[in-house]
Amino acid sequence: MLRPERDSLVAAPSAKPFVTAEDIAKSYGGVQALKGVSLSIKPGEVHGLVGANGAGKSTLIRVLAGLAQPDGGRLFIDGRPIAIATPHRATELGMNFIHQELAFVPGMNVIQNVMLGLPKVSRAGLINWGAIAREVAPVAARVGITAPLFASVKGLSTAEKWLINICRALVRKARLIVMDEPTASLSAAEGEKLFRIIEDLSASGVAVLYVSHRLDEVLRLCHRVTAFRDGRSVAEIARADLSRAALVQAIVGRAVGRIAKPAIAPPAGDIVLNVRGLARLPRVRGVSFDLQRGEVLGIGGLVGAGRTELVRLIYGADRTDAGSMVLDGRPFLPRSPAAAVKAGLGLVPEERRTEGLLLTKSVAFNLQLANLSRIVHGPTLPLIDRRRRRSLAQSVIRDLAIKTPGVDTPVGRLSGGNQQKVVIGRWLLRGPKVLILDEPTRGVDIGARGEIHRLIRDLAARGMAVIAISSEPDELPDLCDRVLVMAEGRIVRELVGPDLTRNAIIEASYAEPALEGASA
């Protein structure tokens, strides 16, 4: 845990605001994401923006970035009313945005990534990369880019990609840089380096809007903090009044105490997966739980709590530092995802488009990926039986009501909800003992969300054990029999029955675990 350093930044800037948002409202499909939020950001200020998932933080960022137009309210730049119709206009006004999914092209070198979307010096009709490099080099050195500017970016760490994005913002002469969950994928040392860069930006007059669930970072870095709750701005807290308790009360709506070590009782039914003391430091710290056959077990918590890292250990995608597992009564410690699949696990990953699907391949091809043994002519003739593949694909399309012109349609042409059904359908064909779904309804519309929930409950009714991870506290109570809430790599609370509510998940996510609070 970071130790708040209250004197690490200069006093809050006293200049007039650079950006002001007043009573911004925004609806999507009749649902109000913003019901009236306001904030102002001064030059050189590190301004924190906090709130539970769904509070409206991302929607306001989209409005500032010109990606969405507000239904009401006003925006000001340097005191002048302004409309931000496009992302290009936001950049012209001096605002740059570094999202969780970094703007980054793996096939380009460092300087090409820095210059994405920027006009480039040319000579005789050709880009003069030498002249560009001479201008970029001092900025790259300032933010700590150590890779040569013309070196390939393949193999760069997430931290190095962050530096490239910050360098791009400074080359664009940014007056405000919006950072969305900047340390979610960084190590402690990489985070410290980023904090020093933020302090340098602040000292030079560049404003930073720091969006994070990690309250210790907010306490350390920010001059002021605005809290959103349920689409409204509910508090603005000056640095002198900042405390973890004040932030949590603003986010949750009431005070939340320290969470004691949870006593997690095993389910009453047939245990299919037993996990004890699973660890991979610093992201996962001694996690233990049991999973019952036919149960939908939810895992909640904030970004960076260790949820995805936990299921990667279970699925064999990462090696454990400690701990043990038992699957169907047998010791289980997969050395690879292939070994986990062979043992009876399936995974629907968070990033379905990059990790779960081959978008240019057909629906049938994507459904077959975990089921080759079912569609070959035989062990002595391991060639695809195309008729069998088509028949199985048609059965899944029918059972899951996948909307597609046909089995040969490239899966990239399907909607997000139907793409997700294809990934789930792949495992429906295989019939694993345990199915893990990481953000099962991310990026799908409300109708597809209901269909996917019904599908998951149907799989559990057939006896499959399901683990569902979700960042949306509204989703888990509707979907799950039981929810384990994680914070700082540990399970801090088990919720079941009448205790399993949206507010209980939010409160547990933000409560400070007891120092000895490892999982039971």
Q: What pLDDT shows up at residue 517?
A: 40
Cβ neighbours of residue 79 closer than 8 Å, sequence gap 6 or more: 16, 17, 20
- For residue 491, pLDDT beyond 70: yes
**In a domain? residue 215:** yes
Rounded Cα distance between 157 and 162, Å, is 9
Asked if residue 13 is part of any domain, the answer here is no
Task: Looking at the structure, tell me whether residues 312 and 193 fall in a common domain.
Answer: no
**Domain holding 38: CATH number?**
3.40.50.300
| pLDDT tens profile 344-378 | 999 998 888 888 889 999 999 989 888 877 777 77
Give the closest residue to 23 by CA, choosing from 244, 233, 320. 233
246 and 384 together in one domain? no
120 lies in some domain: no
The tally of domains found in the chain comes to: 3
Whether residue 113 is contained in a domain is answered as no
Structure confidence by residue, pLDDT tens digits, 218-249: 999 999 999 999 899 999 999 999 998 899 88
Q: What are phi and psi of 188, to 5 degrees?
A: -60, -40
Same domain as 426, residue 439: no
Where do runs of H (alpha helix) occur along 121-207?
129-143, 158-171, 188-203
Shared domain for 70 and 196, answered yes or no, is: yes
* pLDDT single digits (tens) 314-330: 999 999 999 999 999 99
DSSP 15-54: SPPSEEEEEEEEEETTEEEEEEEEEEE-TT-EEEEE--TT
Residue 134 within a domain: no
Q: How far apart are CA 432 and CA 442, in angstroms?
A: 22
The average pLDDT across 433-456 equals 85
Q: Are residues 183 and 58 in the same domain?
A: yes
Domain boundary among 386, 414, 431: 431
Label residues 122-138 b or e (16+ Cβ within 10 Å = b). eeeeeeebeebbeebee
- Looking at residue 266, its pLDDT comes to 54
**Residue range 309-313: mean pLDDT, rounded:** 94
219 and 72 belong to one structural domain: yes
**Same domain for 440 and 513?**
yes
Does the pLDDT of residue 175 top 90, yes or no? yes
Same domain, 268 and 233: no
Do 25 and 64 reside in the same domain of the chain? yes
The 10s digit of each residue's pLDDT in 242-251 is 998 899 889 8
Tell me the residue range of the domain where 178 lies: 19-105+174-252
Last residue of a domain, one of 396, 431, 466: 431
Instruction: Write down which residue in 383, 410, 431 finishes a domain.
Output: 431
pLDDT of residue 2: 39
CA 285 to chain centre: 20
312 occurs within a structural domain: yes
Same domain, 44 and 82: yes
Residue 299 lies in a domain: yes
Give me the mean pLDDT over the 401-429 stretch. 89
Judgement on whether residues 210 and 333 belong to the same structural domain of the protein: no
| pLDDT on residue 52 | 84
Q: Are residues 220 and 326 in the same domain?
A: no
Binned at pLDDT 50, 70 and 90, residue 8 comes out as very low
Residue 272: band (very low, low, confident or very high) from pLDDT cuts 50, 70, 90: very high
Would residue 136 count as lying in a domain?
Answer: no
* Three-class secondary structure assignment of 363-417: HHHHHHCCCHHHHEEECCEEEECHHHHHHHHHHHHHHHCCCCCCCCCEHHHCCHH
* CA distances to 126, 181, 237, 301, 468 from 49, in Å: 43, 10, 10, 18, 28
CA angle 382, 384, 388 (to 5 degrees): 125
Report yes or no: 434 and 344 within 8 Å, Cβ to Cβ.
yes
pLDDT at 180 over 60: yes
Predicted TM-score (pTM) of this structure: 0.74
